[in-house]
Structure 1
Amino acid sequence: MAHPSAVSSTGRTLEINRVLRNTYLLLSMTLLFSAVMAGVSMAIGISPMMGLGLSIGSLVLLFVTLKKAEGASGIFWIFAFTGMQGMSLGWILNHYAGMSNGPGLIMQALGLTSAIFIGLSLYVITTKKDFSFMRGFLFAGLLVVIGAALINIFVGSPVAFIAINAAIAMLMTGLILFDTSRIVNGGETNYIRATVSLYLNFINLFMSLLHLLGMGGDD
């Protein structure tokens, strides 16, 4: 007869694998849906003000999604959130697409983001290393970056803009490690919440890399 601890360990492993599988399946679907909605937004040609309105709307939907994550409606809300988030990026993507090497720039940022995301995820899943020790550093870093970004809205310094986006890129790589390790080590058992975290890490890393790659173009 199997030892109770062995049965418990096997059950925990199966549960973690289920959450991982569901998370990455849902993440791929939400990223694809976001890309489609961003394409629609670009085709329509939404204004920066409309983009800001959609960003605020997606922030509201983010909180609703996290609140509904345990229920059956969680799937609907995560697609509503990621769809609106994708639409809010249309005007920024149009801005970069209008540059001389715009489409190439966007694909470069997307390719680099995907490579970093997949590489870091595979590292954590393979090694099962616990990155929970990074929590305090990442939280403090996010507060500093948000504060600096808000100040720079009024200052408008190109140097600060580059530094802020470089800091965001570094923080997102840390958050990918942190959030993936939480799933792998059983710290996050809800695949909708796990998907939201990884989705935000991917999108923010993509946008920060796009800003950095495009800094040689228009302001």
Structure 2
Amino acid sequence: MDVFNRNINFDAIFKFSHISTATQQHLKKVYASFALCMFVAAAGAYINLVTQLVQFGLLTSLGSFGLMIWLMATPHSRKTEQKRLGMLAGFAFLSGVNLGPLLKMCIAINPSIIPTAFMGTAVIFSCFSLSALFAKRRAYLYLGGFLFSGLFLMLFMSLINMFVGSTWLFTANLYIGLMVMCGFVLFDTQLIVEKAERGDQDYIWHCVDLFLDFISIFRELMTILGMNESNKKKKEK
């Protein structure tokens, strides 16, 4: 039997028979909006790198938070769709701007950290998101309690470390955060599917959930890679 002459049916591979057609169309809108957010966030990060917006970090952080609250408070409808897309773009842009200080730190250590962290984040996000889509419906929704407990654990460790100043505790918090955010990609993706199946068609807010997951993983990876590279240079000296 010649296994190399077999035709691969890609339609069968990417067929989500357990997800309704309406939900699949909803997911297309979610990921299209996510792609827009990534482009706008990249523009915001680049503008921060070539300007001095870093000194307005507090304002851009408050602006980003304010836009997210405004977006959440604005009901989803055809009349508000364009307005909410504008809010989403503004939120993504300011989120990219807020990455500026971390990006500059990584560039100072080793510029290759940024593309490495981005590619790593893209692979992690794609794998976990596809796993959630291929898995049986509600298969990962049970993770919600564990993941939110993980967030509280991270917050508790951060508060303790404010007084202790332990490098080990800070590093442990980073790795725990990375694992928790990977879990949130699984959880949020399946939650979006479940909400869409029940009639929630707010693809803009669903996009925010995935965008925040991606940005959080990207931050964690950049910080971890930056610390490892910095420690490596110290050992070489």
TM category (shorter chain) comes to 0.7 to 0.9
Deviation, 1:193, is 1.4
- Report the 3-state secondary structure (helix = DSSP H, G, I; strand = E; otherwise coil) of the residue aligned with 2:112: helix
Deviation, 1:154, is 4.9
Q: Which moved more, 1:181-190 or 1:113-122?
A: 181-190
CA spacing shift, 1:94–1:68, aligned 2, 3 Å: same
Alpha-carbon distance in structure 2 between the residues aligned to 1:88 and 1:192: 21
Does residue 1:98 correspond to 2:108, yes or no? yes
Unaligned runs of 5+ in 1: 1-9
CA spacing shift, 1:22–1:97, aligned 2, 3 Å: same
1:65–1:81 CA contact under 8 A, matched in 2: no
Q: Which moved more, 1:133-142 or 1:169-178?
A: 133-142
Alpha-carbon distance in structure 1 between the residues aligned to 2:33 and 2:221: 24
Which of 208, 214, 217 does residue 202 from structure 1 map onto?
Answer: 214
| Structure 1 residues 106-153: Cα deviation after superposition (integer angstroms, max 9, x where no partner) | 111111110011111112222344211111111111122123224434
Does residue 1:181 correspond to 2:190, yes or no? yes
CA spacing shift, 1:153–1:68, aligned 2, 3 Å: farther
Report the counterpart of residue 155 of structure 2 in structure 1.
Answer: 146
Instruction: Trace 1:44-59 onto structure 2 (pairs within 5 A).
Output: 44-47=51-54, 50-59=56-65
- Report the 3-state secondary structure (helix = DSSP H, G, I; strand = E; otherwise coil) of the residue aligned with 1:103: coil
User: Partner amino acid for 2:192?
Assistant: I
Alpha-carbon distance in structure 2 between the residues aligned to 1:153 and 1:52: 20
CA spacing shift, 1:65–1:17, aligned 2, 3 Å: same
| % identical aligned pairs | 29
Report the counterpart of residue 5 of structure 1 in structure 2.
Answer: none
Which of 19, 23, 28 does residue 16 from structure 1 map onto?
Answer: 23
Q: Which moved more, 1:209-218 or 1:185-194?
A: 185-194
Report the counterpart of residue 190 of structure 1 in structure 2.
Answer: 202
Deviation, 1:83, is 0.7
| Runs of 4 or more above 4 Å deviation | none
Report the counterpart of residue 113 of structure 1 in structure 2.
Answer: 121
Q: What is the number of residues matched between the two proteins?
A: 206
> RMSD of the alignment, in Å?
2.1
TM-score w.r.t. length of structure 1: 0.86
TM-score w.r.t. length of structure 2: 0.80
Which of 8, 25, 29 does residue 36 from structure 2 map onto?
Answer: 29
1:19–1:189 CA contact under 8 A, matched in 2: yes
